[in-house]
């Protein structure tokens, strides 16, 4: 996948941790692909912390208009997938079955987006399987969604190193929630994240994007994501 190509096949969306904007970034990539007339599916291998909040797959559908969404496991407590399954006394996600399901979807879709839970190395089962293992099994590149503020440089560097160690191609770093009033740390991090990634940022989405209507969200996605992810933006600027 070069810098001028929109994503095709299977693309994993992971992050430096929880609450960094993975769902909004997934929805943005899905919205852009749908606007090009592509067949798009979105997979959430495991949803945890199911309570009053709208599940990620439903949020993605509302924002992007993509209705071909798949949630493979659901657990009530807001924990890692492995801990949430264990605490609830439920069987964990079958990662092998998940990989087979995603591979089947990819045969009849232009793009299958797979949104992980938490960070790259969060455990999904007792064997220690992670979203990195799923990306490796599918030979899929991964987008890394990062926070904007303090701490993001270390977390992003560690995530990119973990991808490289597993020979998983990075599809770029996206800042998932850019504040309306960035401070010194946020502004400095834009340049430093590009140094860590060794390339321009793949995108930057403003905070509050997940509360927009579908048409507004598509416009924000187009402006905020770079050509590598199907948009027209230049995040570094």
Q: Which of 22, 34, 44, 74 is the catalytic position?
A: 44
Q: Are 156 and 173 in contact (CB under 8 A)?
A: yes
Known catalytic membership, residue 167 = no
Q: Are 216 and 27 in contact (CB under 8 A)?
A: no
Q: Kindly write down the DSSP assignment for every residue of 203-235, as one continuous string.
A: EEEETTGGGS-HHHHHHHHHHHB-GGGT----T
What is d(CA 57, CA 75) in angstroms, rounded to the nearest whole number?
A: 14
What secondary structure letter does DSSP report for 92?
P
CA distances from 218 to 35, 178, 209, 212 (A): 8, 17, 10, 9
Residue partners of 102: CB distance under 8 A and separation at least 6: 10, 43, 112, 114, 134, 138
Which active-site residues does the annotation give?
44
């Amino acid at each position: 996948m070069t810098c001028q190509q929109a994503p095709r096949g299977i693309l994993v969306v992971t992050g430096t941790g929880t609450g960094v904007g993975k769902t909004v970034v997934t929805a943005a990539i899905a919205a852009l692909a749908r606007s090009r007339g592509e067949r798009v599916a979105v997979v959430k291998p495991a949803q945890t912390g199911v309570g009053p909040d709208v599940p990620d797959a439903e949020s993605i559908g509302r924002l992007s208009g993509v209705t071909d969404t798949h949630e493979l496991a659901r657990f009530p407590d807001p924990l890692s997938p492995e801990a949430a399954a264990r605490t609830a006394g439920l069987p964990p996600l079958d990662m092998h079955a998940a990989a087979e399901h995603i591979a089947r979807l990819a045969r009849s879709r232009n793009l299958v987006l797979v949104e992980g839970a938490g960070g790259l190395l969060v455990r999904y089962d007792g064997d220690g399987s992670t979203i990195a293992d799923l990306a490796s099994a599918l030979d899929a590149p991964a987008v890394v969604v990062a926070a904007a503020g303090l701490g993001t440089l270390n977390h992003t560097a560690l995530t990119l190193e973990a991808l490289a160690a597993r020979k998983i191609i990075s599809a770029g770093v996206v800042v998932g929630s850019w504040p309306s009033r960035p401070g010194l740390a946020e502004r400095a991090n834009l340049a430093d994240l590009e140094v860590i990634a060794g390339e321009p940022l793949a995108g930057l989405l403003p905070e509050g994007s997940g509360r927009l209507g579908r048409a507004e969200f598509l416009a924000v996605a187009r402006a905020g994501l770079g050509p590598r992810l199907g948009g027209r933006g230049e995040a570094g600027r």
